[in-house]
Structure 1
């Protein structure tokens, strides 16, 4: 023990470990900051550490080549011992990192922790969120499956529309004018070296700011921030109520981080990794390449935009949002911190979460796009086939084989691009059905040249049976009141 003590003192004398611990992990924080509301920052850091460790392990096997990337992922999934689980932990760690960081930003916003003197702490956090999303996007591209290929194609198309520098930005993004072998190498460099390096630098800056400007005290209604008095007031709080972060205030962070780690490992074990979903093939057009969940809201918003708003929203909205986020601590620098006395802030969070939630749901279901495999994966429910005539059954077969189910749901299953067919006979007469099929209308293309008269007759015969028993069939009339 005496020898060990001498070695410890010798190392401390040269490395100043005690002073380093006191200035970092042992620095004093307000006692009321040891709250469950303050655990999201450490949770985000844990997720990043998991990403670095699992990413380094995956890099031993992954080959950033258009010919080998898909094969190396298949090898990880099916041949490498626990390779699938390593990929799953990396994927779910990314999902949790974005989610926890978003919750951290919301907490900071509601607690007014972006105000004086922590403006740069907020700004560095905003950039950390942007780079984290950049990591997520580049990671999705590295899967290099059908989803990744066509998602990148859409991203490159959007980038190419930037005024004046669009072509140069596409060349920078793809390492050339098109998606090729150099593209994957470029994204591998972004994902493994450039963006993680920037994140590490920003985390260092962020933690430095936390140490120098302190952790925001738990806000109380009526306790306003004033530049002239806040610094002295915070020093008094630390002097009278301060406790060392380690070991006094770190308890809840450790518990939350432990639960978070268990959640990531459990989700990885239950749900597994994502993809790869099909070999990337430029000749097979993917009508709806769906991104990972954190981009689904953007995906949905862009899909639902009217054509005349595309350029304005694509390039104006990000600039406005980023300007508001970066400018927030400068134009709302003092005053109340507590969410109880800031109803506008609470309303902004609620509306933003609801909008993003609805858009994410719509992005997941993507009702504006056909489900190209619905005709082969979703059979017609048996209830719609009972007691049907041979002609009607033939029409049901045509309805399925001609891929109508890709756009029209039946029995609650199928595409949502067009209206559901469960009650189509209550809306359209037989003649109207024939006209709609042959001539098209609305969002529906004309199929007059693709279906024979016999096929149309069979399909319409079957569709005339599609109505609830308690509702009458549509009447032959030009008066809409009679149809009701």
Structure 2
């Protein structure tokens, strides 16, 4: 007996894997499933393997450090042999994986494969889609360039809008109130360990259920799903008009998966890797960051939504869409499978596909919401500098030097990304201004790591003067109460010091 046969027998006696593997590979499936419509699930699994392999190779070089990540990616692009191609394979593999998983979900939906007894298979598939999107987003953050920084800032602002626990979620995601070194470490752990590990476990469970419950048969009009008889009818169909999965149906999966890998390699060789673009710096406002292709559609939607509609949209539409997907097999778990007799299902898929394609196309030239057309070099209007203290004028200099007017306008001049600041002191107290500058919020990034304490103090003092003459600046009522109780407030002390100096 050859040595390799003796080694195989030695392992088989101890592992006993031959039987389960043969059952999985040779299990009978309906002959109608040997179709090109059934190849997307296997292609998704092959792309997952590609992402794992290329991700491991990149992790050997990558350093999740805010001071080194950008330079390491530049080194991979320009100094390491074929480093750019490895990065490109990983980046384009991510885009292809998202696309194939979405197509697979649409095919499963149209074929009614979420119905009894495959409800849990569908639910796991929904979570696999969400994990795939999570992998794509965390991978973009690890580039840690301008696109990644601003995408992360907007992602944090979206998470911060969750009622009651938004602040805690932002702290959990960023490792603190602002984007710092801990942020990249957490996203590295998510992208390399947590999300892939969960994805692999759920993929294994998903494949196991497909093997045990069988591949969904071709949906024939009039062939209804009934809980009482479906399993018996399926088994009879698989044995009477079926064939072994390998090689009867598997060869098309293999050809399609090979074609997808070839397409990924061609895109990687022709288009190259994603980024990194400019170094991450919140003071560089004159930029138009864009997310990776899987998220371009939401970029467009937020660009066209009025500011007051962003929060309701983000808090209602995505959770509602996920709830609909998860609840679908419980609402429509039996009955007709054929898309010929399910016009609502066909229309839903076509409508969503047209909307997604249109929004993604618009994102190629849609400006960041809202439009930015300012130039920070224009001087601050003199009306905002008259009768100001030296500290407040110093704050005006900080406002000018840090290019705040690229996003905000005062006196009708400036950017439109953020709200006008002519009366900001009537909306926010001094403490709230400090928190907004340091920690950010909404679509504004945090500047706590780029402003020194004296600069922050001066800037906030200047902002606190921006209110109409007839309307006083906002104040904290609790401080006034504390001052009446014998504990002087900060503003009371300041006014007292000012009167003393005048006298």
Scaled to the shorter chain, the TM-score interval is 0.7 to 0.9
Alpha-carbon separation, structure 1, partners of 2:201 and 2:3: 38
Deviation of 1:101 after TM superposition, in Å, equals: 0.5
Q: Which deviations, in whole Å up to 9, do the C-alpha atoms of 1:29-48 show, x marking residues without a partner?
A: 11211110000001111111
Deviation of 1:369 after TM superposition, in Å, equals: 5.8
* Equivalent residues of 1:287, 1:369 under 8 A apart: no
Q: 1:59 to 1:154 in 2, by over 3 A?
A: same
Alpha-carbon separation, structure 2, partners of 1:303 and 1:370: 9
Alpha-carbon separation, structure 2, partners of 1:176 and 1:3: 58
Whether 2:122 is the aligned partner of 1:122: answer yes
Which SS does the other structure have where 1:337 is aligned?
A: coil
Alpha-carbon separation, structure 1, partners of 2:283 and 2:111: 51
Give the aligned partner of residue 363 of structure 2: 363
- Structure 1 runs (4+) greater than 6 angstroms displaced: none
CA RMSD in angstroms, aligned pairs only: 2.3
Which SS does the other structure have where 1:318 is aligned?
A: helix
Q: Which deviations, in whole Å up to 9, do the C-alpha atoms of 1:28-78 show, x marking residues without a partner?
A: 211211110000001111111010000000011111100000000000000
Alpha-carbon separation, structure 2, partners of 1:241 and 1:281: 63
Alpha-carbon separation, structure 1, partners of 2:102 and 2:24: 25
Deviation of 1:4 after TM superposition, in Å, equals: 4.9
What's the TM-score once normalised by structure 2's chain length? 0.72
Q: 1:271 to 1:229 in 2, by over 3 A?
A: same
Deviation of 1:184 after TM superposition, in Å, equals: 0.4
Whether 2:53 is the aligned partner of 1:53: answer yes
Alpha-carbon separation, structure 2, partners of 1:302 and 1:128: 25
Deviation of 1:286 after TM superposition, in Å, equals: 4.9
Give the aligned partner of residue 137 of structure 1: 137
Deviation of 1:196 after TM superposition, in Å, equals: 0.5
Deviation of 1:212 after TM superposition, in Å, equals: 1.5
Give the aligned partner of residue 207 of structure 1: 207
Which stretch of structure 1 is more off in the superposition, 151-160 or 265-274?
A: 151-160
Deviation of 1:208 after TM superposition, in Å, equals: 1.4
Alpha-carbon separation, structure 2, partners of 1:196 and 1:359: 29
Alpha-carbon separation, structure 2, partners of 1:15 and 1:170: 46
Alpha-carbon separation, structure 1, partners of 2:20 and 2:286: 54
Give the aligned partner of residue 75 of structure 1: 75
* Equivalent residues of 2:121, 2:210 under 8 A apart: yes
Give the aligned partner of residue 247 of structure 1: 247
Give the aligned partner of residue 347 of structure 1: 347
* Equivalent residues of 1:93, 1:264 under 8 A apart: yes
List aligned pairs for 1:79-118, cutoff 5 A.
79-118=79-118
Q: 1:62 to 1:351 in 2, by over 3 A?
A: same
Whether 2:277 is the aligned partner of 1:277: answer yes
Alpha-carbon separation, structure 2, partners of 1:129 and 1:271: 25
Give the aligned partner of residue 13 of structure 1: 13
Which stretch of structure 1 is more off in the superposition, 5-14 or 91-100?
A: 5-14
Alpha-carbon separation, structure 2, partners of 1:213 and 1:346: 25
Which SS does the other structure have where 2:123 is aligned?
A: helix
Deviation of 1:25 after TM superposition, in Å, equals: 2.1
Give the aligned partner of residue 64 of structure 1: 64
Which SS does the other structure have where 2:164 is aligned?
A: coil
Give the aligned partner of residue 462 of structure 2: none
Deviation of 1:341 after TM superposition, in Å, equals: 1.2
Alpha-carbon separation, structure 1, partners of 2:111 and 2:19: 31
Deviation of 1:6 after TM superposition, in Å, equals: 4.8
Q: Which deviations, in whole Å up to 9, do the C-alpha atoms of 1:239-295 show, x marking residues without a partner?
A: 212222112210100110111111011110000001000111111115532101110
Whether 2:323 is the aligned partner of 1:323: answer yes
Whether 2:196 is the aligned partner of 1:191: answer no
Where structure 1 has 5 or more consecutive residues not aligned to the other structure, the ranges are 374-438, 445-484
Alpha-carbon separation, structure 1, partners of 2:370 and 2:145: 20
Give the aligned partner of residue 234 of structure 1: 234
* Equivalent residues of 1:300, 1:362 under 8 A apart: yes
Give the aligned partner of residue 288 of structure 1: 288
Whether 2:39 is the aligned partner of 1:39: answer yes
Alpha-carbon separation, structure 2, partners of 1:292 and 1:96: 12
Q: Which deviations, in whole Å up to 9, do the C-alpha atoms of 1:99-147 show, x marking residues without a partner?
A: 0111100100000000000000000000000000000000000000011
What's the TM-score once normalised by structure 1's chain length? 0.75
Which stretch of structure 1 is more off in the superposition, 362-371 or 340-349?
A: 362-371
Alpha-carbon separation, structure 2, partners of 1:258 and 1:79: 30
Where structure 2 has 5 or more consecutive residues not aligned to the other structure, the ranges are 375-411, 418-503
Alpha-carbon separation, structure 2, partners of 1:34 and 1:310: 45
Q: How many residues align?
A: 381
Q: 1:119 to 1:31 in 2, by over 3 A?
A: same
Alpha-carbon separation, structure 1, partners of 2:90 and 2:373: 30
Give the aligned partner of residue 297 of structure 1: 297
* Equivalent residues of 1:288, 1:369 under 8 A apart: no
Alpha-carbon separation, structure 2, partners of 1:371 and 1:263: 37
List aligned pairs for 1:410-429, cutoff 5 A.
none
Give the aligned partner of residue 264 of structure 1: 264
* Equivalent residues of 2:303, 2:370 under 8 A apart: no
